[in-house]
Structure 1
Amino acid sequence: MMDVCVLGPMEICSSGRADRVCLAPKPRTVLALLCGHPGQMISVACLVREVWGEEPPASSLRNMHTYVLQVRKLLACLCGVSTRAVSQELLVTHPGGYSLSEAALGFDHRTFTELTGAGRGRLRDGELLAGIGDLLQALRIWRGPAFADVVTGPVLEAQRRQLHDARIGAMEALSEARISAGQFHEVISDLSSFVAENPLHEGLHFHYMRALALSGGRARALEVFSRLRLNLVSELGIEPGASMQQLQRCILNSTDPAMASGL
């Protein structure tokens, strides 16, 4: 099966080989929108709005037909089949729109969602190490921000943010599980870049501070709190939440950080 990957720069993977999507920006957006909603019919009107916004050119319908043809030619080249076969089995025309087959193609964002769900389920069932394994596998799928090389319109931008939030949620669940398993240094390694990329996210900072304190890095943990507070106050005009402040007090008072309530 061929996989279409959007969790990072767009790639199409087959037989262990990854090919970058060599399309101009507009047909790339068309492919990305179809990939984001496999098996669903995406209307031509939706595709036009995604590519041109609310003021499309008079030639938009003709141009959209050309972009879909370019996407089909790319898929045909990578799959080693005819453009006709692609139009019949992969990128199918419907009255008023198009759909990308979810039976013939794999999608990395769906694999991520499935693995994350499986990992959370195993954690709820008390299978700590198995749940950690699933979440690690899910997060390793990411190669960068979702749709990293795509010009996004309103639909893709909403999905990009949703996927970003799901990635953060998976990392929070993984961090909490790894702390429970005593894997403090692994959590620190996992979160060092995440907190830098998300300087206002209290949940990530909470787990980062706990892992640092539990591994003996109380001073570093307090520095993380101070930096978070500075960012929140300067950018949003708010103080860290009650859970963050409770964790700070636990660290200052040499109380077990594991006793602090989560976010």
Structure 2
Amino acid sequence: MEIALLGPLGARIGQSSVVPSAAKPRKVLALLGLDCGRPVSVSVLVDELWGDRPPRSAEATLHTYVKQLRRLIAHALDSDVPSWSVPEVAPLPAQAVGPRDVLRRVPGGYLLDVPAASTDAARFERLATAGRHALEAGMVAEGCALLVRALRLWRGPVLADVEPGFVLRSEVLRLDELRMAAFEERFDAELRLGRHRAVLGELASLASRFPLHETLHAQLILALHRCGRSWQALETFRTLHRTLVDEMGLEPSPRLQELHAAVLRGDPALESGGTSLPRPLAAR
């Protein structure tokens, strides 16, 4: 079974989708998919579906949604022809011969009994963690490549076609933060490798989407300066400065102001391979 969470919700066995069309069963599948291999309690599922105002029939209705999912799983199992497009995704265990083996009732809740590696979210976290460890070990090119692979798994916002409740919303925020951290680390590595021209367009696009994000702007400023476009680097700083003051009443961080001053004076330290704030500047 393959489950896609980093974008529109997807779940399939072989070539057959098991994603229901109705909104609440989709939420149940999304929550179970995020916790593949781990039980999800009935109370958590009820909180996600109805918040703090569940109907009296909440548990019975939840079981109806589970039965709908099992019917989709049964149909997919009946028509399954092994065709695994992602090498890391393991097929269903040999003992999973029916829908109740895949979506199990366990004490206090339900469990989607498929490997965690069946989800793109789990693969993203594994690759991003490996990339971070490689960078920490000084293997910059290897770490950068792993982070690029991790980020390529994203097809859009987390669960883009599922309206999250309280429980899903917290997980969406967590994955979004992990994605942003991976972007920062990947661009940091690209700049250390001297690939400022290759990432300039992507950096500009992300900085536009996140107009208050200082790290992305610092990386964009450095990339522009290294590409011989210092005037644009300075304009990027001025735009960020205005946005921070107008919307937040804040000045840019000392780290960013130091980078701005270094661009103004044409500090040679900016030309060497380094991060969004070269270490020689940070040490002064």
TM-score, normalization: structure 2? 0.84
Contact 1:10–1:20 (CA under 8 A) maintained in structure 2: no
**Quick one: structure 1 residues 105 and 23, their matched pair in 2 at CA, closer, same or farther if it must change by over 3 Å?**
farther
Which shifted more, 143-152 or 222-231? 222-231
| Structure 1 residue 19, shift from structure 2 partner | 4.9
**Map of 2:69 onto structure 1:** 71
**Map of 1:222 onto structure 2:** 234
Q: Distance in 1 between matches of 2:209 and 2:16?
A: 26
Kindly indicate whether residue 246 of structure 2 is the aligned counterpart of residue 234 of structure 1: yes
| Structure 1 residue 22, shift from structure 2 partner | 3.8
Aligned to 1:12, the other structure's residue is in SS state strand
TM-align CA RMSD: 2.3
Given candidates 18, 26, 29, the residue that maps to 1:31 is 29
Contact 1:132–1:177 (CA under 8 A) maintained in structure 2: yes
| Structure 1 residue 229, shift from structure 2 partner | 1.8
- 1:68-122 deviation line (CA, Å, top 9, x unaligned): 112222233334369971211x211112200112438601110000001111111
Kindly indicate whether residue 159 of structure 2 is the aligned counterpart of residue 143 of structure 1: no
Q: Distance in 2 between matches of 1:191 and 1:144?
A: 17
Q: Distance in 2 between matches of 1:140 and 1:183?
A: 18
| Structure 1 residue 157, shift from structure 2 partner | 0.7
- Structure 1: segments with no counterpart, 5+ residues: none
| Structure 1 residue 155, shift from structure 2 partner | 1.6
| Structure 1 residue 231, shift from structure 2 partner | 2.0
**Map of 1:61 onto structure 2:** 59
Contact 1:4–1:105 (CA under 8 A) maintained in structure 2: no
Contact 2:105–2:111 (CA under 8 A) maintained in structure 1: yes
Contact 1:7–1:142 (CA under 8 A) maintained in structure 2: yes
Aligned to 2:118, the other structure's residue is in SS state strand
The sequence identity of aligned pairs, in percent, is 37
| Structure 1 residue 249, shift from structure 2 partner | 0.7
The residue type equivalent to 2:156 in the other structure is G
Which shifted more, 65-74 or 167-176? 65-74
Aligned to 2:250, the other structure's residue is in SS state coil
Aligned to 1:99, the other structure's residue is in SS state strand
**Map of 2:92 onto structure 1:** none
Kindly indicate whether residue 47 of structure 2 is the aligned counterpart of residue 42 of structure 1: no
**Quick one: structure 1 residues 199 and 75, their matched pair in 2 at CA, closer, same or farther if it must change by over 3 Å?**
farther
**Quick one: structure 1 residues 59 and 13, their matched pair in 2 at CA, closer, same or farther if it must change by over 3 Å?**
closer
**Map of 1:93 onto structure 2:** 105
Q: Distance in 1 between matches of 2:16 and 2:209?
A: 26
Which shifted more, 137-146 or 95-104? 95-104
**Quick one: structure 1 residues 61 and 140, their matched pair in 2 at CA, closer, same or farther if it must change by over 3 Å?**
same
**Map of 2:2 onto structure 1:** 3
| Structure 1 residue 239, shift from structure 2 partner | 1.2
**Quick one: structure 1 residues 81 and 49, their matched pair in 2 at CA, closer, same or farther if it must change by over 3 Å?**
farther
- Structure 2: segments with no counterpart, 5+ residues: 81-95
| Structure 1 residue 202, shift from structure 2 partner | 0.9
**Quick one: structure 1 residues 97 and 240, their matched pair in 2 at CA, closer, same or farther if it must change by over 3 Å?**
same
